[in-house]
C-alpha cells in the first residue's frame, strides 16, 4: 500500500481531510513512492490560527533563548545529515553528494540565525534635542509563510524558516508537492530542538494552499522560490493583500569565457555548474559565452568528451555525476527544448535524449546535452530550461558579452573566467545581475551575506537570508522620548527642529 503523507501542525503530524491527493515519485524508478495531500483552504486557516496563537508566546521569548533552539537544530541536522540527504535523493533524484551539500548550505543559515541576539540589536542616539533621546529596534511581523520549489527540498526551507523564527515570527511551510517529505522531517527536528508547538508548521498542497495563504488576513509575509510567472503572480496578489513578499523567480545564468581563461579550470567549473543536479538549479550555468576568435572552438572541443562521459544513474548509487530529472513531465519539457533547439538551427553536439539506465529503464533520465552556435533570438537561449542543457554563444568582445547578458530578462547570477583583473573588474561593475562570480561558477553567497537576483529573477525589495533576511522578517520601530523637566512652556505649532 502506498503511504499517505500528513501535514505537521501544532507540533505533531496531522491527517488531512482532503479528497485530492498527489503522487510523489521515486524519479530514478519512475514509480509512485507515496501520496501527498492537496490540503484545503480550511486546513490552511486552521494552521494559521495555530501559528497566530503560538506567535504571542514565541515573539516574547528572549532572542537568546531563540538562539539556543537554533544551536540545537544545527546539532540535530549535523547528526541526521545522511538521513536528510537520502530523503532529498529519494524524491528529487539528485546524487547523494549533491544532496548532502544542499543540506549543509541550508544548515549554514541556521548557524547564521543562531546569532540573532546580535542581528536584532538596534541603534540609540542620546540627546537628539534638548532632553530628547531616540532609539530604534526591530520587531517580528507575525505569521509568515514559505512556498518552496522542487529542486532544493532541504536548502530552501532552511533559507526561509530559521531567519523568520529566530526573529520571533511563526511559520507555515508549503513545500513543493513533488518533494514534501523533507519539510515534514525538518518539522520533527524543530520540535526535538525545543521549538514550541505551532511555531513551525507544514501544510502540503498545490495552488489552493498558496491562494489560501495569500488571501488569509493573518499571514503577514510570504517568501517564495519558483518560476518567474509564479513569482510575479504571487508578488502582485500578495502585495495587493497588504503582505510583505520576497519572490525569487527564474534564471538564465551566463559564464563569460575570456580568451585568457585557464581552459582546464574553466571546463571543470562549467561541467559542474551546467550539469550538477541535472541542471535543476536556479544558479546553474546554462549559457557559456565564448569571447574572441578561437575561444569557442577550444571550449567545445574540451566539453564534448566530458559531456559524453557523464556518469548518470540513480542518485543513491556512488560515483555518479547526475541523477534523473524530478518527474516525467519535466523530462518531457526539457527534452522538448532540445527538440526545439535543433529546429531553431543550433548545432546539437551532444544529444542526451532517449537515455536508458540499466535497471532503471522507467526512470526520468536525460543525458547531458550541448548546443553550439546558439543565438540570442532562439527560445533555448531566451527561456529557462532547468535541465542538463548547455548552450554555447560566441561573441567577439567582452563588451558584446556584457551587452548580451544585460539584455536578458533574467538577472540572477553569472560568472567570468579570465586571467585579467581588468576584464574581471569591468564585468563586475557593468553587469546587471545580482550574484557575480570571478573564476567561481556558482556564486551562491554564504549565509551571512544575502541571496537574490535582479530583473525578472526577483520580485520584492529584500533578498534571502543574511542581513536582508533579517530586514524582511522584521519591522523597524523608532522611539523618540522626552521626560519633562520644569514648567511647561506652552504649545508649539511649528514643525519640531533642533535649536
What is the predicted pLDDT for the residue at 492?
80
What is the predicted pLDDT for the residue at 311?
98
pLDDT tens-digit map of 184-195: 999 999 999 999
The Cα–Cα gap between 37 and 45 comes to 16
Name the phi and psi angles at 124, rounded to 5: -135, 130
CA 119, 122, 125: angle at the middle one, nearest 5? 150
Beta strand 31-37 pairing with 21-26: antiparallel
306-316: average pLDDT = 98
Domain regions of the chain by residue span:
3-249+457-479, 253-438
Name the phi and psi angles at 24, rounded to 5: -110, 125
* Coil, helix or strand at residue 350: strand
pLDDT above 90 covers what percent of the chain? 96
Q: Is the Cβ–Cβ distance between 320 and 311 less than 8 Å?
A: yes
Beta strand 389-395 pairing with 285-291: parallel
Beta strand 143-147 pairing with 219-225: parallel
pLDDT at 488 over 90: no
Catalytic machinery residues: 282
The Cα–Cα gap between 69 and 170 comes to 14
pLDDT at 489 over 90: no
The Cα–Cα gap between 21 and 388 comes to 30
The Cα–Cα gap between 432 and 233 comes to 23
pLDDT at 499 over 90: no
Beta strands (DSSP E) in 130-262 are 132-140, 143-147, 170-174, 200-202, 219-225, 244-248, 253-257
Q: What Cα–Cα distance (Å) separates residue 189 from each residue in 11, 81, 358, 435?
A: 10, 12, 37, 32
The class that CATH gives domain 3-249+457-479 is alpha beta
Question: Matching CATH topology for 3-249+457-479 and 253-438?
Answer: no
Residue 415: enclosing H or E segment and its boundaries? strand 413-417
pLDDT at 357 over 90: yes
What is Dmax (Cα atoms) for the chain? 91
How high does pLDDT run on average in the chain?
A: 97
pLDDT tens-digit map of 61-75: 999 999 999 999 999
What is the predicted pLDDT for the residue at 173?
98
Query: Residue 369: CB partners within 8 Å, gap ≥ 6?
Result: 307, 338, 348, 350, 351, 352, 353, 387, 388, 389, 390
462 Rama class: left (phi>0) / alpha (psi -120 to 50) / beta: beta
Q: What CATH number does domain 253-438 carry, 3.40.50.261, 3.40.50.150, 3.40.50.2300, 3.40.309.10?
A: 3.40.309.10
Name the phi and psi angles at 331, rounded to 5: -60, -45
pLDDT at 231 over 90: yes
pLDDT tens-digit map of 239-298: 999 999 999 999 999 999 999 999 999 999 999 999 999 999 999 999 999 999 999 999
The three three-digit cell numbers of residue 27, written as one number: 524519479
Helices (DSSP H) in 80-177: which residue ranges? 81-92, 96-113, 116-119, 155-166
pLDDT tens-digit map of 79-109: 999 999 999 999 999 999 999 999 999 999 9
The three three-digit cell numbers of residue 30, written as one number: 519512475
The Cα–Cα gap between 299 and 34 comes to 43
The Cα–Cα gap between 387 and 369 comes to 9
Residue 7: enclosing H or E segment and its boundaries? strand 7-9
What is the predicted pLDDT for the residue at 478?
97
pLDDT band with cut points at 50, 70 and 90 for residue 496: confident
pLDDT at 487 over 80: no
The Cα–Cα gap between 147 and 45 comes to 16
pLDDT at 9 over 80: yes
pLDDT tens-digit map of 388-442: 999 999 999 999 999 999 999 999 999 999 999 999 999 999 999 999 999 999 9
pLDDT tens-digit map of 141-157: 999 999 999 999 999 99
Amino acid at each position: 500500500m502506498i503511504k499517505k503523507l500528513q501535514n505537521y501542525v501544532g507540533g505533531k503530524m496531522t491527517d488531512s481531510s482532503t479528497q485530492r491527493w498527489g503522487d510523489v515519485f521515486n524519479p530514478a524508478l519512475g514509480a509512485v513512492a507515496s501520496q501527498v495531500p492537496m490540503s484545503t483552504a480550511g486546513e490552511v486557516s486552521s494552521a494559521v490560527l495555530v501559528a497566530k496563537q503560538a506567535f504571542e508566546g514565541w515573539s516574547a521569548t528572549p532572542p537568546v533563548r531563540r538562539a539556543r533552539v537554533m544551536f540545537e537544530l544545527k546539532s540535530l541536522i549535523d547528526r541526521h545529515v545522511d538521513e536528510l540527504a537520502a530523503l532529498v535523493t529519494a524524491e528529487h533524484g539528485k546524487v547523494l553528494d549533491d544532496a548532502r551539500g544542499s543540506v549543509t548550505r541550508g544548515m549554514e543559515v541556521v548557524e547564521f540565525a543562531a546569532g540573532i541576539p546580535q542581528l536584532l540589536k538596534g541603534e540609540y542616539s542620546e540627546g537628539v534635542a534638548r532632553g530628547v533621546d531616540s532609539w530604534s529596534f526591530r520587531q517580528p511581523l507575525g505569521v509568515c509563510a514559505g512556498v518552496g520549489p522542487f529542486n532544493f527540498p532541504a536548502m530552501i526551507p532552511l533559507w526561509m524558516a530559521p531567519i523568520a523564527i529566530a526573529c520571533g515570527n511563526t511559520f507555515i511551510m508549503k513545500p513543493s508537492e513533488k518533494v514534501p517529505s523533507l519539510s515534514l522531517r525538518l518539522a520533527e527536528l524543530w520540535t526535538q530542538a525545543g521549538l514550541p508547538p505551532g511555531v513551525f508548521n507544514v501544510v502540503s498542497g498545490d495552488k489552493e494552499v498558496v491562494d489560501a495563504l495569500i488571501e488569509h488576513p493573518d499571514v503577514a509575509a510570504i517568501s517564495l522560490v519558483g518560476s518567474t510567472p509564479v513569482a510575479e503572480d504571487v508578488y502582485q496578489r500578495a502585495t495587493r493583500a497588504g503582505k510583505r513578499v520576497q519572490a525569487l523567480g527564474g534564471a538564465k545564468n551566463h559564464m563569460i569565457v575570456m580568451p585568457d581563461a585557464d581552459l582546464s579550470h574553466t571546463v571543470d567549473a562549467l561541467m559542474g555548474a551546467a550539469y550538477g543536479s541535472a541542471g535543476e538549479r536556479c544558479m546553474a550555468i546554462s549559457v557559456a559565452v565564448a569571447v574572441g576568435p578561437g575561444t569557442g572552438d577550444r571550449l567545445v572541443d574540451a566539453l564534448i568528451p566530458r559531456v559524453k562521459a557523464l556518469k548518470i544513474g540513480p542518485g543513491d548509487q556512488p560515483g555518479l555525476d547526475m541523477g534523473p530529472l524530478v518527474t516525467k513531465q519535466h523530462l518531457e519539457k526539457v527534452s522538448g527544448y532540445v527538440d526545439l533547439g535543433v529546429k531553431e538551427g543550433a548545432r546539437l553536439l551532444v544529444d542526451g535524449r532517449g537515455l536508458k539506465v540499466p535497471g532503471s529503464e522507467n526512470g526520468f533520465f536525460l543525458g547531458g546535452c550541448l548546443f553550439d552556435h546558439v543565438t540570442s533570438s532562439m527560445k533555448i537561449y531566451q527561456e529557462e530550461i532547468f535541465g542538463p542543457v548547455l548552450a554555447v554563444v560566441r561573441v567577439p568582445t567582452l563588451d558584446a558579452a556584457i551587452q548580451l547578458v544585460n539584455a536578458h530578462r533574467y538577472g540572477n547570477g553569472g560568472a567570468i573566467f579570465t586571467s585579467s583583473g581588468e576584464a574581471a573588474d569591468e564585468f563586475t561593475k557593468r553587469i546587471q545581475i545580482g550574484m557575480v562570480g570571478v573564476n567561481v561558477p556558482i556564486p551562491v553567497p554564504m549565509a551571512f551575506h544575502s541571496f537574490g537576483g535582479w530583473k525578472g529573477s526577483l520580485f520584492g525589495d529584500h533578498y534571502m537570508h543574511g542581513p536582508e533576511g533579517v530586514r524582511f522578517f522584521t519591522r523597524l520601530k523608532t522611539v523618540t522620548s522626552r521626560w519633562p523637566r520644569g514648567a511647561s512652556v506652552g504649545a508649539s505649532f511649528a514643525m519640531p527642529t533642533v535649536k
